[in-house]
């Protein structure tokens, strides 16, 4: 089976969070199972690139584009049209871009089924809510209507998507984690020393984009309210939204936490693993996560996890590898105190960690992906293109 993955960002562009790494892991796993996989995407630094390369055995085709941020307009659709025609199935990732609507339109014209995976983006939050709402009216509703299926990464996301499509058209397929890098832990004390942490200080770690959706202002306020002795908060991640990073820095200063809350910028590969090895607690306070790969990686690294119930992975972790709390400053503060000041309770909440780790491997998500693909390609008939098309990209 030939699969075309369509995504506005792809590995190794890790500054865009978890999706590039997740889509790459799926692509590599499918190739190992005998699938032919091609990726069509944009290169963030080469706007006019129209080139191909091989990334860990995956063929990646970069399209030229115009725009800014995530609002990217593909230029010239011949390469995308050809890739669609060669595929048995087109898998579109994410919303609020114009690449996926173009791919969906071309798939319908070519009689190819396509899947839509919103990656937790369907409900507009945090930034550009009006623009996202308009996009959903113009594009998302049509993308979902003509899709062969919609994929959710968690029950939480499936519930949100129930307002978009009927429940029987939603397939639940969790994300996975590559467990191999966590079998050998880096030197945590060296990381602590390099970042100014004393041997007796407790390190609370956040890993992810420095973005409003991650709810970091509430985390900083909760850290202040928790009044934890000998604890510091390290916020690690790319700062692609300068206004938000400035607002967060101002809050840290206003609360008198400049020496206890550190914005460290992004860390990848061995440096990220070292941060996890050094941490006493990992926190994911997001307003919403379709899954929450960073929390999964913390579990794999053996770090206790505190996260909000609005994260898709929360039911998997809660009272098995950490604690999930409601979305509020007070409850986050309570969670911080419990996880750091009550070792007996923390040990109880971590008793199921080994089972959770096994459930986090890529084996089951890949099996679920195969089942979805085979059901669609072998058991469905693509919708016939009507005279009145929902998308009009032929002039691009």
What is the model's pLDDT at position 395? 30
Contact between 16 and 29 under an 8 Å Cβ cutoff? The reply is: no
pLDDT at 232 over 80: yes
What is the model's pLDDT at position 386? 34
Domain assignment of residue 133, yes or no: yes
What is the model's pLDDT at position 390? 34
Please enumerate in sequence order all residues whose Cβ is within 8 A of that of 200, keeping only pairs 6 or more positions apart, or say none.
230
Contact between 369 and 179 under an 8 Å Cβ cutoff? The reply is: no
Burial class (CB in 10 A: 0-12, 13-18, 19+), 186: middle
Domain assignment of residue 57, yes or no: yes
Report the candidate in 205, 173, 209 with the shortest Cα–Cα distance to residue 69. 209
What is the model's pLDDT at position 18? 81
For residues 353 and 369, membership in a common domain is answered with no
What is the C-alpha separation between 201 and 185, in angstroms, rounded?
Answer: 20
What is the C-alpha separation between 375 and 369, in angstroms, rounded?
Answer: 10
For residues 116 and 162, membership in a common domain is answered with yes
Predicted confidence band of residue 69 (pLDDT cuts 50, 70, 90): low
What is the C-alpha separation between 85 and 208, in angstroms, rounded?
Answer: 36
> How many domains, in total, are found in the chain?
2
* β-strand partners of 322: 305, 318
For residues 160 and 53, membership in a common domain is answered with yes
What is the model's pLDDT at position 71? 73
Report the candidate in 155, 173, 229, 109 with the shortest Cα–Cα distance to residue 368. 173
Domain assignment of residue 318, yes or no: yes
What is the model's pLDDT at position 381? 41
For residues 171 and 252, membership in a common domain is answered with no
| Average pLDDT over the chain, rounded to an integer | 90
pLDDT at 242 over 70: yes
Report the candidate in 22, 27, 28, 20 with the shortest Cα–Cα distance to residue 4. 27
For residues 251 and 232, membership in a common domain is answered with yes
Higher pLDDT, 81 or 388: 81
What is the C-alpha separation between 383 and 142, in angstroms, rounded?
Answer: 13
For residues 336 and 306, membership in a common domain is answered with yes
If you search the block for the tokens 């984690």, which residue do you land on? 177
Domain, as residue range, for 100: 2-176+362-379
The model scores a pTM over 0.95: no
Mean pLDDT, range 141-165, rounded to an integer: 93
- When mean pLDDT is compared across 170-174, 278-282, 327-331, the lowest value belongs to 170-174
What is the model's pLDDT at position 51? 85
Q: What would the pLDDT profile of 108-118 be if each residue is shown by its tens digit?
A: 999 999 999 99
How many C-beta atoms surround the C-beta of residue 54 within 10 A?
Answer: 8
Predicted confidence band of residue 49 (pLDDT cuts 50, 70, 90): confident
Mean pLDDT, range 99-109, rounded to an integer: 96
CATH number of the domain where residue 316 is located: 3.40.50.2000
Mean pLDDT, range 332-351, rounded to an integer: 96
What is the model's pLDDT at position 199? 85
For residues 373 and 319, membership in a common domain is answered with no
Mean pLDDT, range 282-304, rounded to an integer: 95
What is the model's pLDDT at position 392? 34
What is the C-alpha separation between 60 and 227, in angstroms, rounded?
Answer: 49
What is the C-alpha separation between 91 and 13, in angstroms, rounded?
Answer: 19
What is the model's pLDDT at position 227? 95
Domain assignment of residue 384, yes or no: no
Contact between 252 and 214 under an 8 Å Cβ cutoff? The reply is: no
pLDDT at 59 over 60: yes
8-state DSSP, 138: I
For residues 159 and 249, membership in a common domain is answered with no
Domain assignment of residue 225, yes or no: yes
Mean pLDDT, range 262-281, rounded to an integer: 94
Domain assignment of residue 209, yes or no: yes
What is the model's pLDDT at position 56? 92
Strands 58-63 and 114-117: unpaired
pLDDT at 216 over 70: yes
Q: Which of 340-377 are b and which e, b meaning 16 or more Cβ less than 10 Å from the residue's Cβ?
A: beeeeebeebbebbeebbebbebeebbebbbebbeebb
Predicted confidence band of residue 70 (pLDDT cuts 50, 70, 90): low
What is the model's pLDDT at position 387? 31
For residues 159 and 188, membership in a common domain is answered with no
pLDDT at 388 over 50: no
Kindly report the CA angle at 357 between 162 and 3, in degrees rounded to 5?
55
């Amino acid at each position: 089976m030939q699969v075309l993955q369509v995504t506005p960002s792809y590995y190794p562009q890790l500054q865009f969070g978890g999706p590039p790494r997740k889509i790459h892991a799926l692509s590599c796993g499918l190739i190992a199972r005998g699938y032919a996989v091609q990726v069509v995407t944009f290169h963030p630094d080469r706007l006019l690139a129209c080139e191909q390369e091989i990334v860990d055995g995956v063929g990646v085709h970069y399209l030229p584009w115009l725009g800014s941020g995530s609002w990217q307009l593909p230029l010239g659709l011949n390469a995308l049209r050809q890739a669609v025609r060669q595929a048995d199935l087109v898998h579109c990732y994410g919303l609020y871009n114009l690449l996926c609507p173009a791919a969906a339109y071309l798939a319908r014209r070519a009689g190819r089924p396509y899947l839509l995976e919103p990656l937790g983006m369907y409900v507009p939050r945090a930034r550009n809510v009006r623009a996202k709402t308009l996009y959903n009216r113009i594009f998302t509703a049509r993308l979902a209507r003509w899709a062969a299926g919609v994929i959710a990464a968690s029950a939480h996301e499936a519930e949100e998507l129930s307002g978009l499509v009927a429940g029987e058209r939603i397939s639940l397929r969790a994300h996975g984690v590559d467990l191999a890098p966590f079998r050998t832990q880096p030197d945590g004390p060296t990381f602590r020393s390099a970042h100014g942490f004393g041997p007796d200080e407790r390190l609370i770690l956040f890993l992810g984009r420095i973005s409003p959706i991650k709810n970091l202002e509430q985390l900083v306020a909760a850290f202040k309210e928790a009044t934890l002795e000998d604890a510091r908060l390290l916020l690690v991640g790319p700062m692609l939204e300068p206004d938000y990073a400035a607002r967060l820095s101002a809050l840290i200063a206003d609360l008198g936490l400049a020496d206890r809350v550190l914005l460290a910028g992004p860390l990848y590969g061995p440096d990220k693993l070292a941060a996890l090895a050094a941490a006493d607690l990992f926190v994911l306070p997001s307003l919403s996560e379709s899954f929450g790969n960073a929390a999964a990686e913390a579990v794999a690294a053996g770090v206790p996890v505190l996260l909000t119930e609005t994260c898709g992975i929360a039911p998997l972790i809660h009272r098995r590898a950490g604690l999930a709390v409601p979305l509020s400053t007070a409850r986050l503060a309570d969670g911080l105190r419990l996880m750091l000041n009550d070792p007996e309770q923390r040990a109880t909440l971590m008793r199921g960690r080994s089972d959770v780790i096994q459930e986090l491997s890529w084996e089951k998500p890949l099996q679920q992906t195969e089942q979805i693909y085979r059901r669609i390609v072998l058991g469905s008939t693509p919708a016939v293109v009507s005279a009145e098309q929902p998308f009009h990209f032929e002039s691009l």
